[in-house]
A and B are shown apart, each in its own frame.
Chain A
Amino acid sequence: MTFSTFRNTLFLVLSLSFSFAVFAGEASENPKKEKFDAKEMIMHHVKDAHEFHIIDINGKPVSISLPIILWTDNGLVTFMSSAFHHDDSGHHIVEKNGMKFVKYHENIYQLTDGAHAIEFDADHHPINAKKPWNFSITRNVFMMWVSAIVLILLFVTAARSYNKSEGNVPKGIAGFVEPLVVFVRDEIARPMIGEHKYKKYMPYLLTIFFFIWINNIFGLIPILNGANLSGNIAFTMVLALFTFIITTVSGNANYWKHIFWMPGVPVAMKLFLMPIELIGIFTKPISLMIRLFANITAGHIIILALMSLIFIFETVLIAPVSVAFSLFITVIEIVVTAIQAYIFTILSALYFGMATEEEHH
């Protein structure tokens, strides 16, 4: 053990024990104080929400109100999320077009006629309410659009700058963007798909790479905290679904032959491999979906959990430890943003390459 690691460990142990002592002392003084629920706070940040909560000032939440769009039995209903007055416990009822809506744990329920408060049974299903189709512009949808606009501005500006320059020399923003585009082409598409077929898949691969990457980065910006789009399973599911559809559609005879009748192995083995390969068609995109979701969500949970230590121990003295560790994790997360975008893209490209590979002997 080097001296510096020893010193760090000593510092950690000392600060931990000291803050425990302070915590014990304060806890006995304030027994009435509401207990901090780390799990609820973390889940609130990691999951989607109907408003853009930025900060609490003197107990009053400062947030951006977002539109709520519902498709009910009586047609489309829209109102702003501020109508709920930051209530997430299902107490505040919003009446619109003669229908009553409540928000409970970021789900919007339509109360049945005559009901005044939402009630749940033992399995946590609502008794006197139902869920309308919810097309609301949640903070994830909002951030998705922001990221899409940023991407469009960035890349269209870059593409335009080529027209202005002589001899296609990348200038300005194109000089920053071009190496990344060329990286996707030369390190992902070309080796995985092959020289002759990669061009067809380039727009898709570039789009998912930059779409995932920018949303991973946006998820790390503290003020946009909670816009955990790439750590949302709905988002990763859609992207994985696109990869699955493209792989399946572009699969050639050789690809299907390798799935249903593996060449070069005995017949018994062919029969044995068929169901495995068949399952593999679906496990590949599912693994894509879970990998991205789990990696990004885990990063957020770790950072939030480290920050929660301050509130769990109810002392600011743990803050240096929390800040140091979450800084460390954040730096790792910055690397992970790119790595996860890269992995998703390279695996998609790999699947496309497998689907379009020609038979060779």
Chain B
Amino acid sequence: MDLVTPGFGLVFWTIITFLCLLFILRKFAWKPILGAVEDRENGIKSALASAENARKEMENLKADNERILNEARAEREAMLKDAREIKNKMISDAKDQAQEQANKMIEQAQAAIESEKKSAMLELKKQVAEISIDIAEKVVREELSNKDKQLKLVESMLSDAKLN
């Protein structure tokens, strides 16, 4: 058998052996091995993908939480602000009202005082007049008890009347 001439027998046996080997290995070795490797790779891939999904979901959840928290905080802030405003307004309203009321009361009191004063004055004047008339009556009564004095008075009055 020459070095560079293919021997017929070996060609024959190589074809048969190779085809048998290819068939047997394909069925009993390559398919199970490649299948197992592929299954595992797919498993790893899907596990990685689900991990990534979980991570994203977690992030979303976190972002949601943050958002909700922020919203709540903002709401609280707004509510507090409103409450403060309402409080201020109420206080100022109450103040105004009280002021008004007070003013009114003062005014009323003043008016009452004024009218009391007036009536008191009137009473006073009346009493003063009565007292003065009483006094005058008494004085006149005494004066007119003798003739001289009566005359004197008439004279003085006449002189006054003349002057006028």
Residues of chain A whose beta carbon lies under 8 Å from any beta carbon of chain B: 43, 46-48, 69, 105-107, 133-138, 140-141, 144-145, 148, 151-152, 155-156, 158-160, 162-163, 167-170, 174, 177-178, 181-182, 185, 202-204, 206-207, 211, 232-235, 237-239, 242, 297
Contact = CB atoms under 8 A, between A and B. Distances in A.
Contacts of B5: 233
A167 B1 CA distance: 52
Contact of A155 (B2, B3, B6, B25): B25
Interface of B: 1-15, 17-18, 20-22, 24-26, 28-34, 36-37, 39-40, 43
B49 to A, nearest CB: 17
Given A48-B7, A177-B33, A234-B6, A106 B1 contact: yes
Contacts of B9: 69, 133-136, 138, 141
Contacts of A211: 18, 21
A238 B7 contact: no
A46 B13 CA distance: 19
Nearest to A204: B22
Contacts of B34: 181, 185, 202
Nearest to B12: A135
Nearest to A156: B28
A174 B33 contact: yes
B105 to A, nearest CB: 93
B37 A181 contact: yes
Given A159-B32, A162-B33, A168-B37, A207 B25 contact: yes
A235 B25 contact: no
Return the 6 tightest CB-CB contacts between A and B, nearest first: A155-B29, A234-B6, A159-B32, A234-B10, A203-B26, A162-B36
Given A48-B1, A105-B1, A238-B15, 7 more contacts: A133-B8, A134-B8, A137-B13, A159-B32, A233-B4, A233-B6, A239-B18
A145 B21 CA distance: 9
28 contacts: A43-B3, A47-B1, A133-B8, A134-B7, A135-B13, A138-B9, A140-B10, A141-B13, A145-B17, A148-B20, A152-B25, A155-B25, A156-B28, A158-B33, A159-B30, A168-B39, A170-B36, A178-B33, A178-B37, A202-B34, A204-B22, A207-B21, A207-B22, A233-B4, A234-B7, A235-B10, A238-B11, A242-B18
Nearest to B4: A233
A207 B26 contact: yes
